[in-house]
Each structure stands twice: as C-alpha cells, then as structure tokens.
Chain A
Amino acid sequence: MATEAFVTGIGQSQIGVRLERHPLLLTIDAIREALDESGLTLSDIDGLSTYPGKTAAPPGYSPVGTEDVMDALRLPIRWYSGGGEISSQLGAIVAAVAAVKADLARHVICFRTVYEAAALSRPQDYPQPRGNGRIDGFPQWVMPFNALSASNWIAQYAMKHVKKYGLTREQLAQIALTDRKHALLNPRALVREPLSMDQYLEARMISDPLCLYDCDRFTDASTVLIVSAGDALGDVKCRPVRIAASAHAAERYSWDQPDVMASYATGRELWKNTDYQPKDVDTVQFYDGFSFLALTWFESLGFCAPGEGGAFIEGGARIALDGELPMNTFGGQLGAGRLHGFGFAHEAIVQLRGLGGDRQIAGDPKVAIATSGGGPLATALLFARDM
C-alpha cells in the first residue's frame, strides 16, 4: 500500500504591496520558516511543486519558478513540477501528494509566490511583454467584449444566483465582512482595518453584483507548504497533518459554457474520496479571490443546497471564528491578501496544529478543508490530524 502524504512544515513571507524585497527572497523567507518549523533541512528536500510556473505575463503574477528555487538553493531535486494546466492553485499540492505516494520524492516544497503589486509599481523591471497585440485561447471569447477581468466572468455566475435564488448584497457581504474580522486577528494580514456593512453597501460596484470589497487586490507574498511521505517523518519535529483526500472535477473546461462552475462537481467528488463527511469538518478555508466563490464552495461541498449559500451565511454568525463552521480564519484573500490559493491550505494547517494565536478556533480541530479556483478551475483538499 502506498504511503500517506502529510503536510509537515508551513511558511509564509511578509505580506504587503509594492514590496522591494526580491520575489525569490520572499520565497526563500517562506521556505526558511517552513524548514525551521518542520526540523527538515535543505538536504532533505528532493521535490518542488508550484503553480503556475514562472510566467512573464501578467507582470508579477508568477515571477518565481521551480528552476529559480532549485538552482538558488542547489537543491538535490528528484522530482519537480510547475504549470498552469492543473486543477487550480492547490493542484500543485495534489501533484506533490501524488509524487510522495509514488516515492518520486520524500519531501516536496510547494510554493506560490505573487508579486503583482510590486511589478506594477516597477514597470521598468517587470515590463508587460509585447506580443502582436492579438489574443488567443480562452481569452479571445471574452476579452474582445472588454471583459478583461475575471471579476466580469465570475459576476455572470453571481448574477444568476441573484436572479434565480434571490442572493442579496447583505448576504454576500458576509464573506468580505467575516474575512476582515478575521484579518484583524492575523498579524501578517494585508488589510487590518474593520469593514462595516454600511461601508460595504456604499462601496462602488466593480461588476454587478460584485463591489470593490468582493474583489481581492494585488499582493506581494510567498506561501510554502512542505508535503512529506508518511514513511519519512522520522526527522520531522512539527505535528504532521495528513492530506486525507483531494478532488477535482468539471463539467467541461470553459469559463462561459457550463451552467455552473467546477466547484460543484469537485465538491461532490471530494466526498467520494474520503470517509469523512461535512459534519466532521471543523473549519473551512474557501477561495475568495471574489467573495462569491467562497459562497459557492459552501454549496459545492454540501454544507447547504445549491442556491442556499446566501441564506447559509446570512448574518455571519455561522462562519465566524466562534461559529459552527469558521471560515477563512486568517482573513482570506480579501483580508490577508491575494496569496492565490496557497493561503487557504496554509491556514488549514495552522488551525489543525493549534497555532492560530488570537484567531485560533476553540476545541481541538481535527478536520479542515481548503479550496482554490473559480470557473473551470477547482481543487478541494481535506486535511485531517488523525494519524
């Protein structure tokens, strides 16, 4: 039987905007923290995984690739992977799980480094690549119609919820408001100011029904999780957390053809891959690059029925730190910053290890879910502290 896969060390750089620190050094800051926590050393690391690999465009979207990390640190890598053609940001962790289960690597550093705020402020260093000015692939079906932002694409799905199920702005606001409340308790969070319902309702609209506070903003940071093989935990000094299940499924790969986003099929798939059930989950860390995505994850994973997400989070008590299903306890991307998927997995581990400090949920949490993606992209990870 294949070994189980565990998260050992986790790490995170400072989170900011327009940081001066080199993005590779931010990545190494996060790696250092993860190694310190786990007790592992660079010589133990034989795998690297990232999403979406090094890209020139958009500037700062992914300025650090596996090649940079493995050569900068002279890592003895046996397996590595970095690419966008995977089930979304957390797909990089799924790939690492597969690698350690197949004994292609023992300890895999998984990282996501974002640098868009810094890159936009320093166009001389991070220029917009010049092509022939034409677009192809999926963007050709939306961008000629001036839908240049994913907010426009997601807003189409959100509007269906408004019109079909009666989702209100007050209901949707609970994602952003809860994120902000939790961000106030996270010393590293990007946004550490409270947000009131009045402020939310008065905010300018970006793409109806999404307003300014429903959209994350460019952030500079790096987040790391080390995925380790279950039979390689002898030298690990932190409390390992098992990656009990993962899932991806989609109706088809498209941002505009399917009736619903891939989160729904992915949510159903996750519960096929584990004996755990929704009632066992102590906390959820749901992708919220746009607030509506987090709402759909509640529906997708069966915490409520499709269309009932608005009512489920209404008032915010249920998803608060002391609620029955605490959500985005680090502030999510709307509060902590656009860590692009990896922040959710990082926080799941923080909570299951009891390291949340002021934001630690009560009791002895053992099961957490982290998700990433939107549109056709979706990954769900179920973490359990049970071995």
Chain B
Amino acid sequence: MSGSRLLPQLGPDNRFFWTGGADGQLRLLQCEACDTFIHPPRPICPTCLSEAVAPRVVAGTGVIDSYTINRQKWHPAMEVPFVFARIAIDGAPGVILSTNIVGSPVDAVEIGDRVRVVFEQQDDVFLPLFEKVG
C-alpha cells in the first residue's frame, strides 16, 4: 500500500518518534528514573513524575493485539483493502502502536501474530509499519 498519507505535524514532543526511522530504529520515550515507557510522548513520566524522559531504541518487534481490514475507500485515491492493526511492542510494556500490516495478504493476519517494524518514508516522516515475521 502506498499513496499519499496524512502526515503528523512535527514538534518537540513527537519529532523523535516520527523521524527516528531514518536510521531504521523504532524509538519510544522512556523514563530514565523508573523505566516506564510513555506513549503518546509527554514531557513527564506518569509513574514517578520524573521529567528525565528520553527517546530509547526498542527492538522493533511485537505482537498483533487487534486489527481490522478496512475495505471502504474513504477518498478516491485510497487503496483498499488494507490492515489497520494495533501492535503490543516488545520490551515496552503497556505501549500499543497503531499501524498497517504490510507484505502479506489481508486475510493472513491474525491476533497474536509476531511482527517487526519496517519504515516507509514520506517527506520528512518515517512511518513505522509492520510486517509479519516468518
């Protein structure tokens, strides 16, 4: 699936996330005091209220928590069907990333499938998409 995607407005809170894929790494914000991952990113840890939070490279793998197959063309240029999924990210307890599953037929996707990140660049944004492992 390609085509023109809506892109996020980059700013101090989210730039690391949306541009981190430039070197192929998935980054999430983590508290340096208690290791809690913070997503969506905010400048404070919800667990210990530390403000020492910083982007951390994570493995970039995970498990499909849920998904849907979108079949409706919401605008004429949209290519359908595609899988819109939620991924529970390995090594980052509690963090879910919404994304697309690429590289496999839409009916080959199942909850519990293992996936890994692949980045798709559009303008200055590196979108973390996921593909099935194995």
Contact = CB atoms under 8 A, between A and B. Distances in A.
A42 interface: no
A146 B5 contact: yes
Contact of B8 (A140, A147, A159): A140
B96 interface: yes
A254 B99 CA distance: 15
Interface string B4-36: 011111110010000000000000000000000
B84 A152 contact: yes
Contacts of B1: 146
A205 interface: yes
Given A145-B100, A257-B94, A257-B96, A156 B67 contact: yes
Contacts of A144: 5-8, 125, 127
B9 A159 contact: no
A39 to B, nearest CB: 47
A206 interface: yes
Interface residues of A, number: 36
Nearest to B39: A257
Contacts, number: 104
Given A143-B6, A146-B5, A256 B71 contact: no
Given A135-B9, A140-B9, A143-B6, A205 B96 contact: no
Interface in B41-93: 66-72, 74-75, 78, 82, 84-86
A280 interface: no
Contacts of B125: 144
A148 B6 contact: yes
A163 interface: yes
Contacts of B9: 132, 134-136, 140
A231 B84 CA distance: 52
A136 B11 CA distance: 9
Given A141-B40, A146-B78, A256-B96, A207 B8 contact: no
Interface of A is mostly: mixed
A216 B14 CA distance: 33
A143 B100 CA distance: 11
B84 A208 contact: no
A139 B14 CA distance: 13
A121 interface: no
A353 to B, nearest CB: 39
A140 B18 CA distance: 10
Contact of B68 (A133, A136, A207, A257): A207
B86 A256 contact: yes
Interface of A: 132-136, 138-149, 151-152, 155-160, 163, 204-210, 254, 256-257
Interface of B: 1, 5-11, 14, 39-40, 66-72, 74-75, 78, 82, 84-86, 94-100, 110-111, 125, 127, 129
16 contacts: A134-B10, A136-B9, A136-B11, A141-B97, A145-B98, A145-B99, A145-B100, A147-B84, A148-B74, A151-B72, A152-B84, A155-B70, A210-B68, A254-B40, A256-B98, A257-B95
10 nearest A-B pairs in the assembled complex, by CB-CB distance: A155-B68, A134-B9, A140-B8, A136-B9, A208-B69, A156-B66, A143-B6, A148-B74, A147-B84, A206-B72
